[in-house]
Amino acid sequence: MAGGSGERFWPLSRRDRPKQLLRLTQPDATMLHEAVERIAPVIPAEHIYIVTGTHLVDPIREAQVGVPDANVIAEPHKRNTSGAMAYAVAHLLARYDAPPEGISMAVLTADHTIGEPEMFCATVESALRVAEAEPVLATIGMVPTRSETGYGYIQLAERAEPMPESSEGYPVLPVAAFHEKPNKETAESFVASGDFLWNGGMFFWRLSTFLDELDQARPQLAESTRALAEAMQAGDEAKVDVLFAALDDISIDYALMEHARRVVVARAEFPWDDIGAWPALDRALDHDDAGNVTMGDPVVVDTRNSIVYNAPGAEGMAVGVVGVDDLVVVVTEDAVLVLPKDRAQDVREVVKALKERGDGRM
């Protein structure tokens, strides 16, 4: 999945250059390229599909992230993660000459940082092995390291025993429930209990399991998915468009995972971060002695716990920051953002204002 709009990393991200196309934490590879390379030992590039928006197909192909151009596929409209998955499932049904039982699918994200790639691949293999052996929807849950209110949580079943197919890899456990983003108090109780994992938005299933569970949870979406596959196979793009446009704009968690009968989760031990906004660089990059994270070569004087990001490619801009705390300063070739870390989400206000002005730099 690589459809994000990337407002939260403005001004580095733009409408045509969302987070997954940024070299945010590494100067030499986009996050999407990193994601492709990370999973390559498990899934060869010719079987990796990138599902994105129409306006991002060319930028992604041009970014040469390591998959064949034909595997960059565009949803004709934005219909949230349930739409992206229905589109991908339909595409696989149409393309592969195999019954749904014979095709298994891993849904991965393109805009998270993941450490220890070997451990990541082993975790994916454990989840896939279970999903191929049993009619379950599998996911990966991250052990929470803080009472984060920005993520959904996965609650483990009581007295959960690992699925037998995962005995050799990382434990895959039955899930009791999915919980949407909690408030602070609830998040704290989740983390304290030890029975909750972060929902990282990665999923594993045979297409038949996906469709069977969707038949129960949201029959109309299951029907639309099958109809989309038929229209794709027939090459009827107009019909694909109409069918897809009619889908509800809801998440896969809400459409399927919260209602599915058999959900399992692989407990992740690898470092993971969704890099949701600028302050996340605190966790992804090194600090100086004063707690500052810098990119490029800014002059930073008497400043603490701040992020001063002189973007790669914007070396022509000299940046000087003096005497501030907990501030985010981002400088690109054509834009500057200044806000406190705890207001990082409000970068959207800037993007919104530029959009209203008809300013293209958003």
Q: Which residues bind a second copy (CB under 8 A)?
A: 10-11, 299, 301-302, 316-324, 327, 329, 331, 334-340, 343, 346-347, 349-350, 353-354, 359, 361-362
Q: Are 59 and 142 in contact (CB under 8 A)?
A: no
Based on CB atoms, which residue is closest to a second copy, 62 or 333? 333
At its nearest, how many Å lie between a second copy and the CB of residue 280?
17
At its nearest, how many Å lie between a second copy and the CB of residue 341?
10
Based on CB atoms, which residue is closest to a second copy, 14 or 206? 14
Look at residue 91 and give its three-state secondary structure.
Answer: helix
Based on CB atoms, which residue is closest to a second copy, 121 or 337? 337
Look at residue 116 and give its three-state secondary structure.
Answer: coil
In the block, tokens 């596959």 appear at 229
Q: Say how many C-beta atoms besides its own lie within 10 A of residue 112's C-beta.
A: 22
CA–CA gap between residue 334 and residue 146 (Å, rounded): 36
At its nearest, how many Å lie between a second copy and the CB of residue 309?
11
At its nearest, how many Å lie between a second copy and the CB of residue 359?
6
With a CB cutoff of 8 Å and minimum separation 6, the contacts of 151 are 181, 198, 199, 200, 274
- Using alpha carbons, select from 199, 23, 21, 16 the residue that is nearest to residue 107: 199
- Using alpha carbons, select from 184, 100, 110, 123 the residue that is nearest to residue 150: 184
CA–CA gap between residue 296 and residue 309 (Å, rounded): 7
CA–CA gap between residue 32 and residue 66 (Å, rounded): 9
Based on CB atoms, which residue is closest to a second copy, 255 or 339? 339
At its nearest, how many Å lie between a second copy and the CB of residue 342?
8
Based on CB atoms, which residue is closest to a second copy, 8 or 129? 8
At its nearest, how many Å lie between a second copy and the CB of residue 78?
24
CA–CA gap between residue 6 and residue 84 (Å, rounded): 17
Based on CB atoms, which residue is closest to a second copy, 242 or 318? 318
- Using alpha carbons, select from 232, 271, 36 the residue that is nearest to residue 143: 271
**Dihedral of CA 126/266/270/41: which sign?**
positive
At its nearest, how many Å lie between a second copy and the CB of residue 22?
17
At its nearest, how many Å lie between a second copy and the CB of residue 17?
14
Based on CB atoms, which residue is closest to a second copy, 22 or 329? 329
Based on CB atoms, which residue is closest to a second copy, 3 or 298? 298
Q: Are 159 and 174 in contact (CB under 8 A)?
A: no
- Using alpha carbons, select from 39, 38, 1, 40 the residue that is nearest to residue 20: 1
